[in-house]
Amino acid sequence: MSHSPSSSSFECRSDPDYSGSARFEKPRISYRRVPGAAAGAGASTFGGLSSLIFKFPPNFVRQLSTKARRNCSNIGVAQVVAASWSNNTASGSSSAAASGSAAAAAVPAPASPVEISAGDEVAVVDGLNVQLEALADLKNEASFLSSDGSIAVHAGERLGRGIVTDAITTPVVNTSAYFFKKTAELIDFKEKRRASFEYGRYGNPTTVVAEEKISALEGAESTVIMASGMCASTVMFLALVPAGGHIVTTTDCYRKTRIFIETLLPKMGITATVIDPADMEGLESALKNNNVSLFFTESPTNPFLRCVDIKLVSDLCHKNGALVCIDGTFATPLNQKALALGADLILHSATKFIGGHNDVLAGCISGSEKLITQIRNLHHVLGGALNPNAAYLIIRGMKTLHLRVQQQNSTALRMAKILEAHPKVKRVHYPGLTSHPEHHIAKKQMTGFGGVVSFEVDGDLMTTIKFIDALKIPYIAPSFGGCESIVDQPAIMSYWDLSQSERLKYGIMDNLIRFSFGVEDFEDLKADMLQALETI
């Protein structure tokens, strides 16, 4: 049926049949008139509209009342309102739809209210004034999903997304604030009788989905996501280590984290003991001689991919009243479950493998509700909130996390073995190799060894530069964990402001290379690596 632009109608189609499996049963939503509602246009019942997806005419969403935009996507509201307006099309006539569309532009007097029930909760549609009260909590965590891959695709979204919409992808809710219809609602919210959002820095529906997805992967009670990995780590330090406190960390770590520990924490009287990742005697001594608040390390570490025995470290620290936070960025939640191994907190630069596409900055911390609440409260004060558009990119990137990590694990291990056997490579740092000092630990607590390999070529600074410049596939860039391969020379990329002798204090040699393998074909990466080695 054709319509003129001035008389567009709503086109509907049925949802897929979910009856084949009770596990995927879709929530049943019915439409009926509120008892006692005044009769008027569109007054007939909605019994047959419990499962419809609507296609809207141009500018439909823009025409909605701004009051329809509370804590849900505009499309979700549009579906509710469209159900009311399109009821008159039941006879197949386009005239009712045309008049409904025209009425929308004119903003008519409110139609009689329609009640939409979901479980025992109710949402009332009163003309264009859509009031979405607390719909039934449809949250059903991934109890029937056994693999991390499936959880990464569905957690936080199909299994409990708190946004009224039938969209497969999570909507981006771009708002800086949320309103309350009456002061009584605000007071209920403040006194924790009502769940709501308040201000963009304190929470966002899109961001919550990203947090819940990460929590599901890590087996955590709660996750807080922030604007970058460094934001996450610094807020964590400030929230959990008291003034005058003491921390224990390891020699090999991300340089900016080391700078924060060495230069900023001392201003608050916070001191640190630095140990080798394998030095458990040093850890025991530090715990005995200091009032340690926190043990913090990466595992694997940056850039030498050293590993700590997370279970052993956690046992030792907990006996002495210290918390344990592991930065698992290199491992990803798929290769290593730090919380299950005994750590109190797991931190990631979500910029890397979790986002996975070199297009977003984010950081996250997962753990118990109690600890994450402490961190979240300080985060609300300091800022560093993640933009909802960035949260969407994290959500989208995580849907392919298991596929990417499987490919990167495989490529990195195969290339590490090739590099270790090559005459122009002096040493390879990769926990999947038996030559790695903590291979036995990595084999025990990791299911995969990651997509990053560090190695030393046989040569000096200029020889190493020549090798890197001969590579054709990887980008010369900081960061790692994306679909594109990335290579960098730490002596230049991260430590160039230091002299050679100062760099050596941290073990950073001029011939050290960190290679992050992307998802390119293994044979292409192998050929590129070998041809570049032939140039030196």
User: What mean pLDDT is predicted for residues 384-407?
Assistant: 97
pLDDT at residue 523 tops 70: yes
517 occurs within a structural domain:
yes
Residue 155 confidence class, pLDDT cut points 50, 70, 90: confident
pLDDT at residue 4 tops 70: no
In whole angstroms, give the CA distance from residue 489 to residue 536. 16
Residue 311 confidence class, pLDDT cut points 50, 70, 90: very high
3 occurs within a structural domain:
no
Strands (E), 229-321: 246-250, 271-275, 292-298
State the number of CA atoms in the 13 A half-sphere of 507 facing the CB.
18
5 occurs within a structural domain:
no
Residue 346 confidence class, pLDDT cut points 50, 70, 90: very high
| ∠ CA 151-155-159, rounded to 5° | 120
Express as a percent the part of the chain with pLDDT over 70.
72
What 3-state DSSP class applies to 364? strand
Question: What are the tens digits of pLDDT across the range 450-470?
Answer: 999 999 999 999 999 999 999
pLDDT at residue 105 tops 90: no
162 occurs within a structural domain:
yes
Ranges 66-70, 210-214, 422-426: which has the least confidence: 66-70
Most confident among 48-57, 65-74, 403-412 (mean pLDDT): 403-412
Same-domain status, 384 and 431: no
Residue 146 confidence class, pLDDT cut points 50, 70, 90: confident
In whole angstroms, give the CA distance from residue 301 to residue 130. 52
The answer, yes or no, to whether the previous bond of 300 is cis (omega within 30 of 0) is yes
User: What mean pLDDT is predicted for residues 118-128?
Assistant: 38
Most confident among 46-55, 72-81, 240-249 (mean pLDDT): 240-249
Same-domain status, 487 and 388: no
* pLDDT at residue 405, as a whole number: 98
176 occurs within a structural domain:
yes
Same-domain status, 420 and 321: no
In whole angstroms, give the CA distance from residue 119 to residue 261. 51
User: Which residue, of 399, 427, 461, is where some domain finishes?
Assistant: 399
Same-domain status, 390 and 407: no
Same-domain status, 209 and 337: yes
What angle separates helix 369-382 from helix 229-240, to the nearest 10 degrees? 110
Ranges 97-106, 158-167, 466-475, 504-513: which has the least confidence: 97-106
60 occurs within a structural domain:
no
Ranges 68-82, 168-182, 389-403, 440-454: which has the least confidence: 68-82
Same-domain status, 341 and 197: yes
Question: What are the tens digits of pLDDT across the range 195-249?
Answer: 999 999 999 999 999 999 999 999 999 999 999 999 999 999 999 999 999 999 9
Same-domain status, 459 and 390: no
User: Which residue, of 337, 371, 399, is where some domain finishes?
Assistant: 399
Same-domain status, 364 and 468: no
Same-domain status, 408 and 394: no
Provide the CATH number for the domain around residue 511.
3.90.1150.10
Ranges 8-17, 180-189, 268-277: which has the least confidence: 8-17
In whole angstroms, give the CA distance from residue 185 to residue 191. 10
48 occurs within a structural domain:
no
**Please, what is the average pLDDT of the chain?**
80
* pLDDT at residue 167, as a whole number: 82
pLDDT at residue 119 tops 90: no
Q: Is the pTM of this model over 0.75?
A: no
Residue predicted with more confidence, 73 or 184: 184
Do 96 and 82 meet the contact criterion of CB atoms below 8 Å apart? no
Q: Count up the domains in the chain and report the number.
A: 2
Same-domain status, 237 and 270: yes
């189609």: which residue's tokens? 13
Same-domain status, 244 and 383: yes
Residue 35 confidence class, pLDDT cut points 50, 70, 90: very low
Strands (E), 421-484: 425-429, 452-457, 475-476
pLDDT at residue 425 tops 80: yes
DSSP notation for 183-246? HHHHHHHHTTSS----BTTT--HHHHHHHHHHHHHHT-SEEEEES-HHHHHHHHHHHHS-TT-E
Strands (E), 285-442: 292-298, 323-327, 345-349, 363-367, 425-429
pLDDT at residue 297 tops 60: yes
User: Which residue, of 341, 375, 399, is where some domain finishes?
Assistant: 399
Residue predicted with more confidence, 42 or 219: 219
Most confident among 36-45, 149-158, 399-408 (mean pLDDT): 399-408
* pLDDT at residue 113, as a whole number: 45
In whole angstroms, give the CA distance from residue 68 to residue 181. 11
Residue 229's domain comprises: 145-399
In whole angstroms, give the CA distance from residue 369 to residue 344. 11
Non-local (6+) Cβ contacts of 83 within 8 A are 31, 46, 49, 52, 54, 114, 116
User: What mean pLDDT is predicted for residues 133-161?
Assistant: 64
Residue 168 confidence class, pLDDT cut points 50, 70, 90: confident
> 109: which DSSP letter?
S
Same-domain status, 381 and 445: no
